Amino acid sequence: MISALPTGADLRVTGSRPLAVVCVNGGQGAEVPGTWSATLEWLVRRVSPGLPGLRFGEVRYRIKSWKRLDLCIEDARAAVEELGGERTLLLGFSMGGAVSVAAADEPSVEAVLGLGPWIPDRLDVSPLRGKRLVVIHGSLDRWLPGIPGVSPSSSRRGFERAVAAGADGTYTTIPGAVHGIAVRTPTGRVVPLPRARRWAELVGSELARFQSS
């Protein structure tokens, strides 16, 4: 089911249980309209059948650009409110890591799960104080000309800053994994990238922990 959020973003919901997982996408420099994330779509399809206690909400931003990070954060907050979970986990891919960290001060949010997350050094990590932060990063992830990416060393610095600020959690590197988990073909089909199964195992394990805690 797809619904419009008050901010103008869209929310695609899978499941109907009281525990919410808000999934937020990456971005780019150019200020372009939001799209559905192939990585998040593949993961939700893969892990949701085994997690019946969770309701997933995938966010399609109004504008998917780190130059309008403020708008993306507003969209994430609107999704948290719309899902109205008794407890919420924010799952952020790439730029969605920064979005999730910033929105972690929403009252229902208990944890952030970052996948190859962008956590820039200037980002305030205080919203994570007293909350759980789990980072999973591909060992081969890096920025290349014309190819988006986030280096593991960058997310490691963000993770360590968050722990120093009072967060609790874990950091895991997946050998041989790149930045994304899946891509969308010109025909619209979602195709998993190498090591996608390992990503799904680790994400599923953390979400199961959230479901049962």
Condensed to tens digits (0 to 9), the pLDDT of residues 19-45 reads 999 999 998 888 889 999 999 999 999
Tell if the pTM clears 0.85, that is, is over it.
yes
Residue 1 confidence class, pLDDT cut points 50, 70, 90: confident
Domains and CATH numbers, the chain: 2-212 (3.40.50.1820)
Mean pLDDT computed over every residue of the chain? 95
- Segment holding 200, helix H or strand E: helix 196-212
What's the CA angle centered on 22, arms 11 and 35, to 5 degrees? 45
DSSP, res 193: P
Is residue 116 within 8 A of residue 155, CB to CB? The reply is: yes
Per-position DSSP letters for 11-80, written without gaps between them:
EEEE---SEEEEEE---BSS--B----HHHHHHHHHHGGG-TTEEEEEEE-SB-BGGGHHHHHHHHHHHH
